Amino acid sequence: MISGGLDSLLAARVVMEQGVHVEGINFYTGFCVEGHTHAIRKKDRARPKRNNALWSAEQLGIKLHIVDIIDEYKDVVLNPRHGYGTNLNPCLDCKIFMVEKAHEWLVANDFDFIVTGEVIGQRPMSQRRDTMPVIARDSGAADRLVRPLCAKYLPETLPEREGWLDRDQLYAFNGRSRKPQMALATRFGFADYAQPAGGCCFLTDRQYSVKLADLWRSRGRRDYELDDIMLLKVGRHLRPRPGFKLIVGREEGENKFLEGYRKRFVHMFPVSHTGPLVLLDGELEAGDLELAARLTARFSKGRDAASVTVQAGDLDGSVQMLDVVPFPGEDIPADWYL
Amino acid sequence: MTDTILDARRLLCPLPVIRTQDAVQKLQYGQTLKVLCSDPGVVQDIPAWCRVHGHEILNIQEGDDEIVITILVCNTE
């Protein structure tokens, strides 16, 4: 299982060093940080972000199979048996699910065992001594799940018993220190690898989790589609009242991305001044359109103007012009911001 | 002449890569796939995917709003 981080890169390399044929598998949940916001925001395009899982596969000289698990993953997010972490991150259930999917792939493609870069004590929820056996058991992978970086702390696995892997050449890393991994990376000649950057999943992000919880609350049900979770990654989100939210593009790249949703949302943008594209989410009530237009004007270059003309587009394709006074920035209640 | 066209516009990486992967699996050695994309990340990611799977990039056309990548299927293992 190749995440794109250093640990999975090393784990695969350790096994390859013993002459094992390895192919990489990587799962896409929809919440992966990898690439997305960088692709959307124009300012980030000058330094394009590589897909680290693909990069790892290239370094290793192995194939990488990227698997879309967006739909199946919903149940993990909505009903985690082992609960959430600090935010809406169901890390243990996520790991179990991914190993389970890897095991299904292994069976379907006639492979023998799964390798992960897990290290005991590395992460507080999914990489603990007591959760390692839970992942192996609940995923169904059982003793076909090998963690080469901390194997010496764990029971012997099938590949070790069968002689496919020499346990003596596996490792005993543990804890949060990255020094052993960095030393091993140096030994293998990996000078350039993804640095730990606070997680690979938006669900570990506090602000993102707040927006997701708000989405569920406002709809009265815990559910989502891919577009919902993508839109939570983009723009400023303001909720003036429970059933009404604005998504305000923050720069050209985000505006362009939001343009793709114009047929599905009432939307608006200033025409007298440069400014954001704004999507209006929810059932609009009297006064909402004007309020949204004033907020749109507030986030435009006309924020200090006496009047800004905003074009609003309805779902039926009709448009109307609104001349509004920009909403004073200091008057926007802090609790409107998600 | 292109054998198959894949519309991956409005999808963000890695989805265009995943759709490319799925489309290539249905093609035979020597056939070509033209992928229409809008996420600039594909310029890095699809060639990287092709390199690790042994396929060849025949052409990358980058426009203002659209990127077109043509792939030659070279490995059908």
pLDDT for A281 equals: 96
B21–A65: do the CB atoms touch at under 8 Å? yes
Does B44 sit within 8 Å of A48, measured CB to CB? yes
Task: Count A/B contacts: CB-CB distance under 8 Å.
Answer: 66
Choose among B12, B21, B44: nearest Cβ to A66. B21
What pLDDT does B74 receive? Answer: 95
At residue B2, does pLDDT exceed 80? Answer: no
Average pLDDT over residues B64-73: 94
- pLDDT value at residue A197: 46
- Beta carbons of A331 and A297 less than 8 angstroms apart: no
- Asked whether the beta carbons of B74 and B55 are under 8 A apart, the reply is yes
Nearest CA in chain B to A258: B10
> Closest Cα to residue A116, out of A72, A101, A175, A81?
A101
What element of type H or E holds A101? Answer: helix A91-108
Contact map slice: B 38-77 vs A, CB within 8 A = 39-41, 43-45, 48-49, 51-53
**pLDDT score of A253:** 86
- Report d(CA B74, CA A217) in Å as an integer: 50
Minimal C-alpha gap between A22 and chain B (Å): 13
Nearest CB to B44 within list A50, A65, A66: A50
Q: How does pLDDT run along chain A (338 residues), one tens digit per residue? A: 999 999 999 999 999 999 999 999 999 999 987 655 555 666 655 555 688 999 999 999 999 999 999 999 999 999 999 999 999 999 999 999 999 999 999 999 999 999 999 999 887 666 788 899 999 999 999 999 999 999 999 999 999 999 999 999 999 999 888 899 999 999 999 988 776 544 578 999 999 999 999 999 999 999 999 999 999 999 999 999 999 999 999 999 899 889 999 999 999 999 999 999 999 999 999 999 999 999 999 999 999 999 999 999 999 999 999 999 999 989 999 999 99
Note whether A39 contacts B12, CB cutoff 8 Å.
Answer: yes
The answer to whether the CB of B32 falls within 8 A of the CB of B2 is yes
Would you state the structure tokens that stand for residue A77, as one six-digit string? 């997010």
Please tell me which of the candidates A28, A36, A50 has its beta carbon nearest to residue B18: A28
Q: Mind listing the pLDDT tens digit for each residue in B33-61?
A: 999 998 888 999 999 999 999 999 999 99
Q: How far apart are CA A94 and CA A90, in angstroms?
A: 6
Closest residue on chain A to B10 (Cα): A260
Give the best residue of B9, B25, B44, B45 to mutate against chain A (max A CB count within 10 A).
B45
Q: Among all residues of B, which ones are annotated catalytic? A: 13
Instruction: Mutation target for B interface from A51, A226, A234: give the one with most B CBs within 10 A.
Output: A51
**Does B76 score more than 90 pLDDT?**
no
Radius of gyration of chain B (CA): 11
Q: Tokens 């190993």 — which residue?
A: A99
Strand segments, DSSP code E, in A119-183 are 145-146
Q: Are A302 and A272 in contact (CB under 8 A)?
A: yes
Query: What span, in angstroms and rounded, lies between the C-alpha atoms of A69 and A81?
Result: 18
Over residues B26-31, mean pLDDT: 95
pLDDT value at residue B40: 87
Mean of the per-residue pLDDT values for chain A?
92
Question: Over the stretch A327-336, which tens digit does the pLDDT of each residue have?
Answer: 998 999 999 9
